[in-house]
């Protein structure tokens, strides 16, 4: 465990807020990773954000390499998104009726991701995967689900499952409160392991509703699919009458205008049946979606028998923010993301190499992570081989120098198109000392 090292930064305001928060909120946070448990120390309470910069309640500024875990692809408080949000808010906050921006956002997604003919809007990535799962089960009349260790799809009961003892055996709950009966419907397999998928389908093929996979995993750090893996999933699911759900909540509209699908292209044997989206498509507001072929989506209520709904689904402010964000994700934005990501990752790699810290940088388009292990990471076991204590020291040195990395070694580093040369320069300056701290 890394030792907390809030030495050179004034954090009394954040510390006081954490204490207040702990009294009324479990752990003081509304999403566990924010609590800094993996790295120790005091989570920074952020008061405001602009472009690539976060400012905490003590007045400290940080270059933001979390970007709200993906959504802030244009940077914070982008003027065009701000304008869209302010205009939408002036027209009212929530109608509970259909509204035009919902149509426009759906059209924008359908236009970008070829195999997606229809989408249903929801309010979080968790809801998107939960609903896609229900749709897959409803469409196939089967209940079992295959997922991969290290892939995160939100806190959906059957997807909060950990691998059982044998490859094709049923999974175990990965959280208290998940019933064994729910985990028993899930088969958890090692990522990038075609033989394991074949074996699971050989044993349970006619009971499996779907395989769900992150399009290119980012939740164990960035572990792209090995050549042919996505095509193998497509082939095997087709052979057994199961559906393929590709979760683009993190990669969607970030890796390319059409997400990971736009980079990798259509798998041999055809497109995935269902896609899930979130993060970027909400522009920092709660909007997410699941979608796919029109014939499948027609099984949803009100046209079909699979029930799904949401009071705030398609919220007018969230859809305005998402639409404005997508409309401003121009080719120049993706070019800039590439430059920013490569400049920072290359410099991190050089600094770590000079300090003698084993590491590996892995990519999915401009999405990247720096693993603190010298070996290529192909699955969750590989990711777990990292030196997490070294990452904790690295993280705290960067934080003390005004760069806010994800507070866990198992995450992607997110950049935005607003990371200008000043912000990048700030990161580059901080890296050598942080690398030496990691080596210590």
Tokens of 246: 């590709």
- 247 binds ligand PLP per the rule CB under 6 A: yes
* Shortest distance (Å) from residue 156 CB to ligand PLP: 9
First to last CA, the chain: 14
- 250 binds ligand PLP per the rule CB under 6 A: yes
Residue 137 or 153 having the CB closest to ligand PLP: 153
Q: Catalytic residue at 307?
A: no
- 272 binds ligand PLP per the rule CB under 6 A: no
* Shortest distance (Å) from residue 193 CB to ligand PLP: 19
Nearest residue to 174 (alpha-carbon basis) of 190, 189, 187, 158: 158
> Of the listed pieces 81-89, 118-126, 357-365, 374-382, which binds ligand PLP according to CB under 6 A?
118-126
* Omega before 302 within 30 of 0, i.e. cis: yes
Residues 196-215: x where in contact with ligand PLP by CB under 6 A, - otherwise, as a string: ------------------x-
* Shortest distance (Å) from residue 128 CB to ligand PLP: 7
* Shortest distance (Å) from residue 59 CB to ligand PLP: 29
List 154, 173, 284, 402, residue binding ligand PLP (CB under 6 A):
154
Q: Between the CA of residue 146 and those of 136, 174, 180, 352, 438, what are the distances in Å?
A: 12, 15, 16, 37, 37
Q: Which residues pair with 243 in a beta bridge?
A: 210
DSSP state of 27: G
Residue 290 · residue 248 · CB < 8 Å:
no
How many Å apart are CA 373 and CA 368, to the nearest integer? 15
Q: Between the CA of residue 143 and those of 106, 128, 153, 177, 243, what are the distances in Å?
A: 29, 18, 17, 20, 12
DSSP state of 385: T
> Of the listed pieces 6-14, 149-157, 235-243, 262-270, which binds ligand PLP according to CB under 6 A?
149-157
Which residues, 69 to 108, sit near ligand PLP by CB under 6 A?
A: 69
Counts for the chain of helices (H) and strands (E), in that order: 14, 15
Residue 34 or 238 having the CB closest to ligand PLP: 34
- 125 binds ligand PLP per the rule CB under 6 A: yes
Residues 273-312: x where in contact with ligand PLP by CB under 6 A, - otherwise, as a string: -----x---------x------------------------
List 9, 11, 42, 129, residue binding ligand PLP (CB under 6 A):
129
Q: Catalytic residue at 375?
A: no
Half-sphere exposure of 405 (CA within 13 A, CB side): 31
Active site residues: 152, 247, 279
- For ligand PLP, the binding residues (CB under 6 A) are 69, 124-126, 129, 152-154, 214, 219, 247, 249-250, 278, 288
């Amino acid at each position: 465990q890394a030792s907390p090292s809030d030495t050179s930064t004034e954090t009394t305001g954040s510390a006081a807020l954490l204490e207040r928060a702990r009294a009324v909120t479990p752990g003081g946070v509304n999403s566990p990773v924010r609590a800094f448990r993996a790295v120790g120390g005091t989570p920074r309470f952020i008061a405001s954000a602009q472009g690539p910069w976060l400012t905490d309640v003590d007045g400290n500024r940080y270059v933001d390499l979390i970007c709200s875990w993906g959504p802030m692809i244009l940077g914070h408080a982008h003027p065009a998104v701000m304008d869209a949000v302010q205009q939408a808010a002036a027209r009212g906050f929530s109608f509970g009726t259909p509204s035009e921006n919902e149509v426009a956002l759906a059209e924008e997604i359908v236009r970008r991701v070829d195999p997606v003919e229809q989408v249903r809007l929801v309010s979080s990535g968790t809801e998107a995967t939960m609903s896609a799962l229900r749709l897959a089960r409803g469409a196939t009349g089967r209940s079992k689900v295959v997922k991969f260790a290290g892939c995160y799809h939100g806190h959906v009961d059957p997807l909060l499952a950990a691998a059982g003892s044998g490859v094709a055996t049923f999974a175990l709950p990965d959280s208290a409160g998940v019933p064994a009966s729910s985990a028993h419907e899930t088969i958890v397999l090692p990522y990038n392991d075609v033989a394991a998928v074949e074996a699971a389908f050989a044993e349970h093929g006619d009971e499996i509703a779907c395989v769900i996979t992150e399009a290119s995993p980012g939740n164990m750090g960035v572990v792209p699919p090995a050549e042919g893996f996505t095509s193998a999933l497509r082939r095997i699911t087709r052979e057994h009458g199961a559906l393929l759900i590709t979760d683009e909540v993190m990669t969607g509209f970030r890796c390319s205008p059409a997400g990971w699908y736009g980079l990798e292209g259509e798998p041999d044997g055809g497109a995935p049946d269902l896609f899930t989206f979130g993060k970027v498509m909400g522009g920092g507001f709660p909007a997410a979606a699941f979608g796919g072929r029109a014939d499948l989506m027609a099984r949803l209520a009100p046209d079909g028998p699979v029930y799904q709904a949401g009071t705030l689904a398609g919220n007018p402010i969230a859809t305005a923010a998402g639409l404005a964000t997508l409309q401003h994700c121009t080719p120049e934005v993706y070019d800039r993301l590439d430059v920013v990501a490569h400049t920072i990752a290359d410099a991190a790699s050089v600094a770590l190499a000079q300090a003698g810290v084993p590491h590996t940088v892995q990519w999915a388009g401009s999405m990247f992570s720096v693993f603190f292990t010298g070996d290529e990471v192909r699955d969750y076991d590989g990711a777990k081989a990292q030196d997490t204590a070294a990452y904790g020291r690295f993280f705290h040195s960067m934080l003390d120098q005004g760069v806010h990395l994800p507070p866990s070694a198992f995450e992607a580093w997110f950049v935005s198109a607003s990371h200008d040369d000043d912000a990048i320069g700030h990161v580059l300056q901080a890296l050598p000392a942080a690398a030496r701290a990691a080596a210590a």
